[in-house]
Structure 1
Amino acid sequence: VHIGAVGRDGDWAIERLTEYGVDTRYITYGSTTGHAIIMVDRLGENAILIHSGANLEITERAIGAALGQSSTGDYFVAQNETNMQFEAASLAKKLGLTVVYAAAPFDVDVVQMMLPMIDILVLNQVEADQLQKATGKPPQDLGVAQVIITLGAKGCRWFNAETEVSKVFDAEPVKAVDTTGAGDTFTGFMVAGLDRGLPMEQALKLASRAGAIMVTRHGTADVIPDLKDIQDRFGP
């Protein structure tokens, strides 16, 4: 289920989500559809300029209606492109959902506000450093049960506050041509793996492999790999 907002110019986006099998009943209409201008350099690294548009016009009513259809144990995933993250995460937490928060685009004040609601925090190394500087606390002391720091070509680091386990997962060696969407792909596959019942270690391995394939492709949503792509390249 996707909770969001588009403009009247955004019917194509709803149609595309529907093609992907996403429940779009709770997408509302606002001003103009948000969009991003993505610039990619010769090394595959990107810079992104965002026009938020209707992304900042999500209503509390839509959030309540969508989350009202959820079940205890479902996963709620939020990022910073929209408004109402805190309100939505608070309701999700109250309903017994697992709250996953990808702290991008990074805003240290918003992240600190969200911390009490988060079960799983995903951020990159630069964001982790900025958050530690602002809070004076390392990732394992943020009060979040599980923190995942993505390290680009070096893989990712997982902190489990409950067991005090910290583990690094190496990335699959690939030649990156476009890193756009790699973080989103990683988070999506991690959550999908957890939702399928995989332990975190296996979910992170799956997510890392998905991200590795993603950076070898030019584009964003249309080139995100599926499970078959991952199994064909890396095995089951």
Structure 2
Amino acid sequence: MTIFNLGSINWDHCYQVSHFVRPGETLSAQGYHLNLGGKGANQSVAASRAGARVRHIGAVAEGDAALSVLHKLGVETAGIEQQPEQVTGHAIIQIDQNAENAIVLHPGANRALNWPWVEQHLATGGQGDWLLMQNETNLLQQSASYARKRGMQVAFNPAPMDKQITLSLLNELDLLIVNQVELQDLTEETDLEAAIRKIQQQCDTALLITLGKQGALYVNAEGRQQVNAYAVDAVDTTAAGDTFIGYFLASRCLSDDINEAMKQASAAAALCVTQAGAIASIPDATQVNTFMEEHTL
């Protein structure tokens, strides 16, 4: 089984600053880091490190180094188009002395995907495979519909949340992955149970809801399963959600055991937050298995 991830690829330019730049001000940075990120890239790397076969479908500028970085991390990159007239998606991130951030994001090639290219690479998928999407690229509706026709299962993580886009996709989905705030925004319900009922009244998609320190909840027509979060000392939560998603889907490719998939995903996310950075903090399967042997929920 293969996870086809129609996802974003971004370069994050991170600047340590004494304070956020004010209008008309020129400010010298106290530090700088360049990191590969984007929710799509993060989730592809997480699923790959969990042991799944992952084919990323996306776009970058021609000759961009992101291709070699993802390839070295075990992600299949043949589905990433190099677009000579586009720039790779990127973010300018200011981080102040209180660890607060201010971000300017340019989607670049992420929002310039071409349907013939996407269709060509989705055409190699079929029964048992997954299409994973986030809300950082274009062509979501076409891709979901096409994947379902090919017998693939479709998972959608609507981040950043766009209510209209998400509601329009519900009937094409096998799995909707949201955190509690996103679910509340989508349903306009502040009560978790009311929000779940509202989605179930509209479609038959399964729900995977991450609840932060309270763990995660999986709900479908047959019932529900919940796991607690592992207790760890968090350093950086940047890629925790993406790590959870990648590990959950990777486990689902290997087994129908939802509870085990949630436990592995929870362990991976817990390990992730103990390290700084996004992709750099995503653990591999050996680390996750060792962690699970040493810790209990």
Structure possessing the higher radius of gyration over alpha carbons:
2
Q: Which residue of 1 aligns with 2:146?
A: 91
Cα pair distance change 1:140/1:175, threshold 3 Å: farther
Unaligned runs of 5+ in 1: none
Give, in angstroms, the shift of residue 46 of structure 1.
6.9
Q: Which residue of 2 aligns with 1:217?
A: 275
Q: Which residue of 1 aligns with 2:4?
A: none
Give the 3-state SS of the residue equivalent to 2:64 in structure 1.
helix
Give, in angstroms, the shift of residue 62 of structure 1.
1.2
Cα pair distance change 1:231/1:47, threshold 3 Å: farther
User: Which whole-Å deviations, capped at 9, do the CAs of 1:196-227 have from their partners, x for residues lacking one?
Assistant: 11411111111111111111110111221111
Q: Which residue of 2 aligns with 1:114?
A: 169
The correspondence of residues 122-161 of structure 1 with structure 2, limited to 5 A, is 122-133=177-188, 138-160=198-220
Cα separation, 2, equivalents of 1:47 and 1:207: 29
Cα separation, 1, equivalents of 2:64 and 2:126: 29
Counterpart check, 1:76 vs 2:76: no
Cα separation, 2, equivalents of 1:147 and 1:100: 10
Q: Which residue of 2 aligns with 1:16?
A: 69
By relative contact order (CA 8 Å, sep 6+), the higher-ranking structure is: 2
Cα pair distance change 1:175/1:235, threshold 3 Å: same
Give, in angstroms, the shift of residue 100 of structure 1.
0.7
Give, in angstroms, the shift of residue 61 of structure 1.
0.8
1:4 to 58, 69, 74: 58
Two-structure CA RMSD over aligned residues (Å): 2.3
User: Which whole-Å deviations, capped at 9, do the CAs of 1:125-161 have from their partners, x for residues lacking one?
Assistant: 111001111898534334133101111111111111x
User: Which whole-Å deviations, capped at 9, do the CAs of 1:60-101 have from their partners, x for residues lacking one?
Assistant: 111111111112110110001100111111100110001011
Give the 3-state SS of the residue equivalent to 1:71 in structure 2.
coil
Cα separation, 1, equivalents of 2:149 and 2:273: 37
Cα separation, 2, equivalents of 1:13 and 1:48: 20
Structure 1 length normalisation: TM-score? 0.90
Cα separation, 1, equivalents of 2:125 and 2:178: 26
Give the 3-state SS of the residue equivalent to 2:56 in structure 1.
coil
Identical counterparts, % of pairs: 37
Q: In 2, are the aligned partners of 1:44 and 1:178 still within 8 Å (CA)?
A: no
Name the structure with the higher helix share. 1
Give, in angstroms, the shift of residue 25 of structure 1.
1.3
Cα separation, 2, equivalents of 1:117 and 1:169: 27
Give, in angstroms, the shift of residue 4 of structure 1.
0.3
Unaligned runs of 5+ in 2: 1-54
Q: In 1, are the aligned partners of 2:170 and 2:203 still within 8 Å (CA)?
A: yes
Name the structure with the higher strand share. 2
Cα separation, 2, equivalents of 1:11 and 1:171: 37
Number of matched pairs: 233
Q: Which residue of 2 aligns with 1:179?
A: 237
Give, in angstroms, the shift of residue 43 of structure 1.
9.3
Give, in angstroms, the shift of residue 44 of structure 1.
7.8
Q: Which residue of 1 aligns with 2:114?
A: 59
Cα separation, 2, equivalents of 1:88 and 1:209: 31
**Larger displacement relative to structure 2 (132-141 or 143-152):** 132-141
Cα pair distance change 1:49/1:142, threshold 3 Å: farther
Q: In 2, are the aligned partners of 1:45 and 1:179 still within 8 Å (CA)?
A: no
**Larger displacement relative to structure 2 (22-31 or 215-224):** 22-31
Counterpart check, 1:32 vs 2:87: yes
User: Which whole-Å deviations, capped at 9, do the CAs of 1:173-207 have from their partners, x for residues lacking one?
Assistant: 11111111111111100000000114111111111
Cα separation, 2, equivalents of 1:110 and 1:205: 30
Structure 2 length normalisation: TM-score? 0.73
